[in-house]
C-alpha cells in the first residue's frame, strides 16, 4: 500500500513540478528559493496525498500550501541561505516563455504585491481565492493589485511594453 502511495505521489511530482516551480520562481525571483518553496510545500502536504485521492484537488492543496508558506516567509522576512554562485541552474527552464523584463519589474515590487499579481494574473486566481490563499482581506488584494499594476506601468523595465498601459 505504501509503495502505491509513494508511486502516485512521485508521478504527481513529475507531472506538476515545472508548473509549481514556475509559480514559486515568479514569487521568489530566485531559483534556489523557488526550489526551497516547492520542496517545503511538497514536504508539508505529502501526508495528505492519499486522503485527498484526486491529483487535481491535491495540486490545489499544494499550491495553497506553497502560497501560504511564501506569505509566512515574507512575514518573517525569511532570507534563507545564500546559494553558491557557481551552482548549476536548472537544466530545463520552465520560465523560458516569461518576459525577463517583466520578471525584473515584478522583482522590484514589494513581496506581497508580487504575490498578489502572480496569483491574480499568472495563476488566474480570483480576488477571493488570492485573499484566502494569502490570508488577507479581499480589499487588501484589490489594493495590492491596483498598486502593483500602477508600479508596473511606471517600471523602467517595461518602458517599451504596452502590455501594462
Given this model, what pLDDT does residue 164 score?
46
CATH number, domain containing residue 123: 1.10.10.10
* Domain end (from 16, 44, 66): 66
* Domain end (from 44, 66, 88): 66
Given this model, what pLDDT does residue 96 score?
54
DSSP for 74-99, written as a single string: HHTT---PPPPTTSPPPSS-TTTTS-
Give the count of beta carbons closer than 10 Å to the beta carbon of residue 77.
7
Residue 46 sits at the vertex; the CA angle it makes with 119 and 141, to the nearest 5 degrees, is: 20
pTM of the full predicted structure?
0.61
Residue 107 sits at the vertex; the CA angle it makes with 101 and 109, to the nearest 5 degrees, is: 115
pLDDT at 95 over 80: no
Q: Residues 56, 106: one domain?
A: no
Residue 94 forms part of a structural domain:
no
Residue range(s) defining the domain that contains residue 12? 1-66
CATH number, domain containing residue 32: 1.10.1740
Mean pLDDT across the chain: 81
Amino acid at each position: 500500500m505504501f509503495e502505491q502511495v509513494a508511486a502516485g505521489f512521485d508521478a504527481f511530482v513529475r507531472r506538476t513540478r515545472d508548473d509549481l516551480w514556475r509559480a514559486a520562481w515568479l514569487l521568489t525571483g530566485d531559483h534556489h528559493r523557488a526550489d526551497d518553496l516547492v520542496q517545503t510545500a511538497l514536504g508539508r502536504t505529502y501526508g495528505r496525498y492519499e486522503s485527498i485521492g484526486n491529483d487535481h484537488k491535491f495540486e490545489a492543496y499544494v499550491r495553497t500550501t506553497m502560497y501560504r508558506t511564501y506569505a509566512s516567509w515574507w512575514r518573517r522576512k525569511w532570507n534563507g541561505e545564500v546559494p553558491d554562485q557557481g551552482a548549476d541552474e536548472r537544466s530545463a527552464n520552465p520560465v523560458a516563455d516569461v518576459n525577463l523584463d517583466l520578471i525584473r519589474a515584478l522583482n522590484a515590487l514589494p513581496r506581497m504585491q508580487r504575490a498578489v499579481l502572480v496569483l491574480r494574473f499568472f495563476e488566474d486566481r480570483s480576488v477571493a481565492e488570492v485573499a484566502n490563499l494569502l490570508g488577507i482581506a479581499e480589499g487588501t488584494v484589490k489594493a495590492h493589485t491596483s498598486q502593483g499594476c500602477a508600479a508596473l506601468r511606471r517600471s523602467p523595465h517595461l518602458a517599451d511594453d504596452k502590455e501594462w498601459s
